[in-house]
């Protein structure tokens, strides 16, 4: 039966300096456009930006019917190969960004005791007007046992930001428990969930050859700009058919 779901989407710039941050921002735009086309709701929870307009990290909440099933194969390292605008000699650079997709879980499913977390407040650097920057409304929560750190800074009140941050933390802890239960958890993987990093390279975006290749199923698609504009349906369809 179709049901509305909420997911946490984390995008982090990886190797490649400023170019990685620009690529991370393009990935967010791709997912945002894809979500818009499907009538899903999107909301940025936390983000930090680079000096050249890219993002170091971006965390968003997305909601819609069966949205987790559409996004779950996006988790992993995305690699881009292209000539950056700042490159004078025309050399092709390789940069990466990591994506983590986590399903939100109800409070009753993951109980977090207050003594297990450390809560800090800080001034938001995100959008929201003067009030956001003058008042310490942003929240950072550290889960002491796992070392996972989450934050939310786009809501106007501490309470709203705390609720968002706790939702991210519950999603991360639930993912760890799920993978433990299936015997797939390793110490490396636990660390990856904590940071949003995934070791495996899942997809390459090759601009000179106008080609996107998903390495898990060995399939490629042309028209890279169209896909980066949110036209992800054919890729998601192929992944859902070929990955069990």
CATH class for the domain made up of 4-106+196-242:
alpha beta
- The partner residues of 80 in beta bridges, in order of sequence, read 95, 205
DSSP 16: S
**Dihedrals phi, psi of 101, to nearest 5 degrees:** -120, 120
Mean pLDDT of all residues in 133-145 = 77
Which of the following CATH numbers is that of domain 108-191: 3.40.50.2300, 3.40.1190.20, 3.40.430.10, 3.30.160.20?
A: 3.30.160.20
For residue 80, the tally of other CB atoms under 10 A from its CB is 26
Q: Of the candidates 213, 215, 197, which has an alpha carbon nearest to the alpha carbon of residue 205?
A: 213
pLDDT digits (tens, 9 = 90+) for 30-78: 999 999 999 999 988 888 888 888 888 899 999 999 899 999 999 999 9
Residue whose token pair is 């993912």: 175
What is the value of pTM for the model shown? 0.80
For residue 86, the tally of other CB atoms under 10 A from its CB is 11
Domain locations along the chain:
4-106+196-242, 108-191
Residue 186, pLDDT above cutoff 70 = no
């Amino acid at each position: 039966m179709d049901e509305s779901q909420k997911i946490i989407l984390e995008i982090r710039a990886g190797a490649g300096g400023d170019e990685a941050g620009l690529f991370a921002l393009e990935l967010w735009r791709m997912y945002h456009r894809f979500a818009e086309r499907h009538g899903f709701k999107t909301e940025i929870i936390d983000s930090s930006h680079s000096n050249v307009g890219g993002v170091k990290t971006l965390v968003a909440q997305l909601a819609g019917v069966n949205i987790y099933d559409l996004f779950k194969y996006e988790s992993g390292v995305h690699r881009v190969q292209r000539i950056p605008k700042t490159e004078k000699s025309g050399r092709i650079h390789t940069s990466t960004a990591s994506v983590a997709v986590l399903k939100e879980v109800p409070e009753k499913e993951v109980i977090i005791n207050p003594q297990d977390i450390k809560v800090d407040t800080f001034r938001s650097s995100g959008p929201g007007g003067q009030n956001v920057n003058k008042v310490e409304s942003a929240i950072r929560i550290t889960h002491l046992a796992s070392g996972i750190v989450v934050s939310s800074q786009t809501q106007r009140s501490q309470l709203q930001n705390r609720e968002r941050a706790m939702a991210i933390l519950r999603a991360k802890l639930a993912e760890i428990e799920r993978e433990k239960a299936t015997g797939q958890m390793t110490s490396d993987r636990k660390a990856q969930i904590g940071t949003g990093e995934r070791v495996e390279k899942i997809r390459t975006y090759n601009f000179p050859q106008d080609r996107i290749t998903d390495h898990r199923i060995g399939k490629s698609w042309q028209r890279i700009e169209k896909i980066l504009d949110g036209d992800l349906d054919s890729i998601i369809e192929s992944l859902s058919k070929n990955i069990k």
